[in-house]
Amino acid sequence: MEELELLCFEIIANVGNARSLYIEAIRAAKTGDFEKAELLIKEGEESFELGHKAHANLIVKEANGEPVKVGVLLLHAEDQLMSAEGFKIIANEFIDLYKKLEDK
């Protein structure tokens, strides 16, 4: 497998895991387990960071003049990265909302 493909799969695996953890965090908050929700968000951020670093490696390669072949796999990796980032924002909003609802 080529280096580009490996980096793409590294992005996909890590940010996919992050997205799943963000969804689990929402579910934990929904049941009132805010401590677990915060831990899941933290775990998700760690996993997301691994995917983001792999993505940054691609940007550095291109910035250094190495051509990066854009194909469906890279597009999918980028899509998953952005999707996970959006889920993190939504998860944090839901957690805040569930906390407010519990206070009332």
Annotated binding-site residues read 79
Task: State the catalytic residue, choosing from 30, 36, 61, 76.
Answer: 76
Whether 48 contacts 88, CB under 8 Å: yes
Q: Binding-site residues for Mg(2+), please?
A: 79
Question: Going by C-beta distance under 8 Å and a sequence separation of 6 or more, which residues neighbour residue 47?
Answer: 14, 15, 17, 18, 21
Interior/surface letters 23-41, b for 16+ CB within 10 angstroms, e for the rest: bbbbebbeeeebeebeebb
Number of CB atoms found within 10 A of residue 57's CB? 14
CA–CA separation, 52 and 46 (whole Å): 10
**Residue 52 annotated as catalytic:** no
Tell me the catalytic residues. Answer: 76
